[in-house]
Amino acid sequence: MVMTVNTFPPDLIIEVKSRIYKVVNDLELRSLTMKQQPQLPLTQQPQQYSRPSTSHSHV
């Protein structure tokens, strides 16, 4: 890719650099934001359910 960009006129080379820096900067900010948010587990632990007590009456 560098070889291709080096064939561009100077104004386009500057634009390429600018766009690349923007992409990296945006992703860096996203990464920082993700690190600051509490991480939720991907799966939750199974919950224990209690059964209602039943009374058996004999008739």
Q: Model confidence over 17-33: pLDDT tens digits?
A: 999 999 999 999 999 99
Query: pLDDT band at 55, cuts 50/70/90?
Result: low
In a domain, 55, yes or no: no
In a domain, 30, yes or no: yes
Average model confidence (pLDDT) across the chain:
83
Residue % of the chain over a pLDDT of 90 = 53
Cβ–Cβ under 8 Å, residues 5 and 16: yes
In a domain, 7, yes or no: yes
Rounded-to-integer distance, Cα 16 and Cα 8, Å: 10
pTM over the 0.75 mark: no
In a domain, 16, yes or no: yes
Per the structure, the complete domain to which residue 14 belongs is given by 2-35
Residue 52 has pLDDT above 80, yes or no: no
In a domain, 54, yes or no: no
Domain count, the chain: 1
Q: State the burial class of residue 16 (Cβ atoms within 10 Å of its Cβ: 0-12, 13-18, 19+).
A: middle
In a domain, 22, yes or no: yes
In a domain, 59, yes or no: no
